[in-house]
Structure 1
Amino acid sequence: MTRLAQAFTHEWNQARAARLAGDLDRAFHHLERAHILGQRHTRRHIQSHLGMLHVGWLRSDLREMAGQLARIVAATLFSRIWVPVGNTGGANVSALQPMPVPPDLQALLDES
């Protein structure tokens, strides 16, 4: 497993632990980090959006759920063609907006 894949799995597991502890804000934060790391890999990209959809469901946040459904379709079609680098993936940001990448994640992306 590559360091990038390991980092994605770490963020995913942190999100899961936070969700199980009832800390949905922390869970979503880790899903955003997983999204940044996984958005160029179709399976990981979709997985991060599914996680966000689940948090949206737990929050009864219809806007987040609708946004994630649209992003899951887009991730399926476009992950290997083009992604907005650094985009955190939540429905609270434009799906097309590149964003600054946190330095610790940028180092991992630079390796891949």
Structure 2
Amino acid sequence: LQAFLQRVVNGGGRIEREYGLGRGRTDLLIVWPEPTAGAGAAGTAGRRTRKFVIECKVLHKSLERTIREGLEQTAAYMDRCAAEAGHLVIFDRSDRAWDDNVFHRRESADGTDIHVWGM
């Protein structure tokens, strides 16, 4: 995750931590300026801003309950800031084997697709 975030910054993007969205705060908001067709040589004209929400949770309850609550929260944050994608990252600090903790799946909350990552 840290290596990806470093590439965002090196590529001209921004990472907002604990970004306030109304009454809540998303853990990470990635803001990525992207040149669109017809952008000038300097790359400033015709840019659009892409936004991605990353919500992080530590597993305290059951995995399914943590996912359900995290999906609702992530979908709400995505809606508030008009993000095009959302990622829910769940950190499991238990003594289980690493292979048992690592997963990726796509879920949906309120009609919004969200990537769920287990670590």
User: Normalization by structure 2: what TM-score?
Assistant: 0.31
User: Normalization by structure 1: what TM-score?
Assistant: 0.33
Comparing both chains, which one has the higher relative contact order based on Cα–Cα distances under 8 Å and sequence gaps of 6 or more? 1
Query: Going by fraction, where is strand more abundant, 1 or 2?
Result: 2
